[in-house]
Structure 1
Amino acid sequence: MDDTLMDQKLYDYLKIVKNYLMKMGASKEDAEDIVQDTAYKFILYIDSISHKNVEGWLFRVAVNGYYDLYRKRSRRQAIALKFNFQQLFEEFTPEDAVLQNERKQDVDDVLKKLKPKHQQLLILKYSVDLAIRDIAKLCEMKEDTVKTTLYRARKEFVQEYRRQGYE
């Protein structure tokens, strides 16, 4: 009979601990898991726990378990934020590589048919990724002239690209 009374008291304490954890912010499932782990630790270390201090020990172990869970989740979330999940779904397949090479070849073919000055400006702007100001200095041109020539070069490129039937 004494064991059933002690079991009931332990059950009541654990119920209070569970409610306390839920008020701290733990979900019901997390609180139940922590309480279960706390009960397991209690059974494991029952010989070294003072009978006067059981309730305090249960609270301390459960709260520490909640803090540990919270820290683990924070670390996982930080790692998940750093990891780019989109890359898992965007595979670079051999077919993609072949298509990319074909597109590059198509662009090169069209570029070869443009005026040399247009080729040069398009390559500097879109392949080398230079700013208009840098292109103007490099080619010894005014910035407005570079902008106008780039506009004409893009227009000529698009016309030739369509003429070749690439689209």
Structure 2
Amino acid sequence: MQTQTIEDLYREKSRLIFRYLLKIGCSKQDAEDIVQNSFSKAVEHMIHMEVANPSAWLFKVSINDYYNLCRKKKRYPNVQIDETFFENMHSTEEAGEQRLIRHENKQEIEAVLEQLPSAQSNLLLLKYELTLSYEEISDLLDVKVDTIRTTLYRSRKNFKQKWSEFIEKKG
């Protein structure tokens, strides 16, 4: 891979990866270090090996570095979202139900997201917090768009079920 291509990749993806790391619980300093380390690895490895999807490879390297850091620090990811998490959700659910979810306490939404498998909560974050399109998520994760749509549908369904259980317990 040429240096220019790595520079283009950095301009296009570094901010996205940084924002994603912050959303899954990484500190600002750690996120900066991970992004820098990931692009250093890109320079070292992509020159000598063929990478079919550099964006997906870089994203996976960054996430792996984050989880390695978590293990090293003996702490685990804590999903953090802001109040606008579901504002971009486009689904066929009732409008009242959407309003209820949007206005619920941030900590309650985080608690429910933490109950989901990490792949599902990460996909929800990519789609609704970072507002990525299906195609962008597909490119980033190196997964077919149809797989993203299906998994996202299941993630929303699972979130809705967990949310209902959470509300019942809260009673």
Common fold: TM-score over 0.5: no
TM-score (norm 2): 0.38
TM-score (norm 1): 0.39
Q: Which has the larger radius of gyration?
A: 1
